[in-house]
Structure 1
Amino acid sequence: MDKAKDFGQDLSPALLKNLIAIGCAMLVKETVNLNKLKNHMSHLLGNPQTQTDSHYRRLTRFFDNPLAQRKLWKWLLVWILGYIKRWDGRSMSLYLTLDATCWQLGKQPIQLLVLSLVYRQVSLPLFWVDLAKKGHSSQQQRKRLLQQAMKLYPLKGFCLLGDREYEGKAWFAFLTENGLNFIIRLPKDAYKAAISRGGKAYSGLLKRALRGRCGSQWFELDGHRYQFVARAHQDGAQSADPLVLLVSNLKWPKQVIVERYRIRWTTECLFKHLKSNGFHIEELGVQHYAKIRLLVVIVVVVYVLCVAEGFRQFHRIRPKKRELGKFEPRESVFRKGYSAVSNQVSTIEHFIDWLMKQLAKPLKIPIRIFFFSVQH
């Protein structure tokens, strides 16, 4: 554990050891359920004589620890943001996504509102909050999340991408006044009158989009100017939702705005990895808010470590097909990294030794990784 002092200098040795053991168990068992994680603790800790029930109590005591609940999650969040900042800035994207993932834990609803940074077509969670309710987030909740995130990460000048539930006059004004660009999808008929006052009729813009052309118009809303863009859905006019309606405060060409909005789908991949393709976060059995917060931040740390290793192993990912200036991999960066990291989990001692060496290496993404064809 002495090797990990630089990594966790503010943590007690016992707390740090349990933290790393839980992360290793998550990698091996691909779950966050403590009842399943306990079965691998004997192997990790090198004490096969200990009963699994004792390991379960060890896990529950970790999440019951007041210091872990109050401070450990903050320390982990600050550490992971600092780690991401050290990544090779040459290939850093300036896109953010805002989206939520929901599930039910008994009678308790869980809704994680997640702000992510898109780095080479991979979403990395920067900040999140459990709204603990059904339904959409309010504008006030989104503002509070952005304000907290901006204290920890330099977001000014980034472009935020969001789906239809993340619109609102006050929300648009807040983003603009805080130096954030945005491209957000609109529900049909939203701000119809204001858009029509811009010059072209709203219905005419939609008809143009349905004919396969891109319609756009600038309009004013509460003293701010925004660009409205309408485009037919990629599945065609016969789809259940035939139009993609976007609003932005950017002066980019309308075709560029439509293309950049597609980056938002990287968040769907993130949620898939957290839920069904990696950690099965919906299986968590803890219900206390502070425990859920701690468990989620541990998952995010492990996820980011896997993504970093996936970028290091990127040259080993075989292409599915090659087109002009585009590379489509057969395997995701996360899954490639997950395989590499989980292979290092034999004992805690071996994993710490490997992890310290990896963290000391600079993460430089080769410029030849150009599959992110929509990066601005």
Structure 2
Amino acid sequence: MSLQEAALTDPTKLGEVFKHHLPFLRRDTLQRLADVVTALIQARSTKHARLALHLPGHASSSVKLRRVERCLHDPQLDQDVFLKLLLPLLPDDKLVMTMDRTNWEYGEADLNVLVLGVVLEGFTLPLVWTALPHGGSSDTRTRERLVARLLKVLPAKQWRVLVADREFVGREWFAFLRRRGVKRCLRIRGDSRVDDLRLDEGWAYVEPGQVVGVLEKANIYGQVMQLVVTRTPEGELLALATDLKIDETRGVYHLRWSVESTFSAQKSRGFDLEASAMTKPARLERLVGVVTLAMAWCLRIGTWCHEQRPIKRKKHGRRAVSLVKYGLERLAAALRWGTSDRTILLSLVMQPFPAPIQHSAQDVGY
């Protein structure tokens, strides 16, 4: 049996799987990372003391606690490491990308993380992220650096479109995405100018449920783009500036909600990211990487388990549990009790997601 095959039957050897993708890092460093990720899946908490309880071996609790800290404080585990472990999971298909922020408070610290990821199975799998040194919105330069970092390893020809909400607008930002060859589907604010006409005044007539597509492209933030306008059932104007066709724009924009499912899974309904006391930007980014890797594994396994035994749907039509939670429960049980399906489940953690038949918004209940 090869080391890689052994790693798929024994989670204490998952570092060997990581070594295949990260040959420049020491095996003990990678095994420490694998141990903390599997501990996170079982503990469902980012508190160091709870993670330590689920580390393998017979060492004392204090020794295990230091092992957790060594992993989360290790500067070798930068974002390039996590990206190299996440990229093999992507399907061979055009990818819908989303950008958004998640923020929370720990004591007096205002923690704020900007994320860029890919829509997979109703969730956004973060690929690159950055901890902002302030609360509130991100600036154009920060967004540009994040996109540029991902484009180095995932060229624009593999992006179907970038979807984002009203925070992510501006002349320089729109122009940057065009220069980089990234198609856009971006919600714009009501006070935006479209061909020198204020949006919320020129399209005030749009009724809830009505969709208005301007036949001729308009000047929006200095770019010639398609404009699609509708109104939500609550009466709020929803306007999209896009490079897509009118008939596909609204459906693609709805995929933006997948990032909210991700933040929910990473935080209160999954891995309890907010419970960590880590506030320094570099360490916070490393922790987000560990949580993202755990979530990616659970989503991948949940997808496979759903193919084998579909999740029941409730009366309102939504799944009884999300794919992440479905995979989390199966993998946590396999790791803790060594169930008969452990080998199969661990073999999935570095296999690509199946190519989606069609992109659709996540319809789950927790």
For Structure 1 versus Structure 2, the TM-score category normalised by the shorter chain is 0.7 to 0.9
Q: Which amino acid aligns with 2:329?
A: S
Distance 1:72 1:137, change over 3 A: closer
Bigger share in helix: 1
Matched, 1:121 2:122: yes
Distance 1:93 1:330, change over 3 A: farther
Match of 1:303 among 289, 292, 295: 295
Match of 1:282 among 252, 268, 274: 274
Q: Which structure 2 segments of 5+ residues have no match?
A: 8-14
Residue 70 of structure 1 deviates from its aligned partner by: 3.3
Give the TM-score normalised by structure 2: 0.83
Partner secondary structure for residue 35 of structure 2: helix
Match of 2:203 among 193, 202, 205: 205
Partner secondary structure for residue 334 of structure 1: helix
Match of 1:243 among 237, 242, 261: 237
Residue 206 of structure 1 deviates from its aligned partner by: 2.1
Q: Which amino acid aligns with 1:84?
A: L
Query: Whose radius of gyration is greater, 1 or 2?
Result: 1
Q: What CA distance in whole angstroms lies between the structure 2 residues aligned with 1:163 and 1:366?
A: 23
Residue 195 of structure 1 deviates from its aligned partner by: 4.2
Q: Which residue of 1 aligns with 2:333?
A: 343
1:52-131 residue pairs with structure 2 within 5 A?
A: 52-64=61-73, 68-71=74-77, 73-81=79-87, 83-85=88-90, 87=91, 89=92, 92=93, 94-131=95-132
Residue 62 of structure 1 deviates from its aligned partner by: 3.1
Residue 223 of structure 1 deviates from its aligned partner by: 5.4
Q: What CA distance in whole angstroms lies between the structure 1 residues aligned with 2:46 and 2:135?
A: 22
Residue 273 of structure 1 deviates from its aligned partner by: 0.1
Give the TM-score normalised by structure 1: 0.81
Distance 1:222 1:189, change over 3 A: closer
Q: Which residue of 2 aligns with 1:229?
A: 228
Residue 175 of structure 1 deviates from its aligned partner by: 1.1
Q: What CA distance in whole angstroms lies between the structure 1 residues aligned with 2:178 and 2:270?
A: 36
Match of 1:19 among 10, 21, 33: 33
Q: What CA distance in whole angstroms lies between the structure 2 residues aligned with 1:289 and 1:204?
A: 43
Partner secondary structure for residue 313 of structure 1: helix
Distance 1:6 1:189, change over 3 A: closer
Q: Which residue of 2 aligns with 1:40?
A: 54
Residue 6 of structure 1 deviates from its aligned partner by: 4.4
1:295-334 residue pairs with structure 2 within 5 A?
A: 295-315=287-307, 316-320=309-313, 328-334=318-324
Partner secondary structure for residue 165 of structure 1: coil
Partner secondary structure for residue 175 of structure 1: helix
Residue 335 of structure 1 deviates from its aligned partner by: 1.1
Q: Which residue of 2 aligns with 1:266?
A: 258
Residue 236 of structure 1 deviates from its aligned partner by: 3.7
Distance 1:273 1:362, change over 3 A: closer
Q: Which amino acid aligns with 1:205?
A: W
Partner secondary structure for residue 206 of structure 1: coil
Partner secondary structure for residue 265 of structure 2: helix
Q: Which amino acid aligns with 1:59?
A: V
Identity of aligned residues (%): 23
Residue 351 of structure 1 deviates from its aligned partner by: 11
Q: What CA distance in whole angstroms lies between the structure 2 residues aligned with 1:231 and 1:361?
A: 39
Count of aligned positions: 343
Contact 1:314 1:333 in 2 (8 A): yes
Q: What CA distance in whole angstroms lies between the structure 2 residues aligned with 1:213 and 1:361?
A: 42
Partner secondary structure for residue 336 of structure 2: coil
Aligned Cα root-mean-square deviation (Å): 3.0
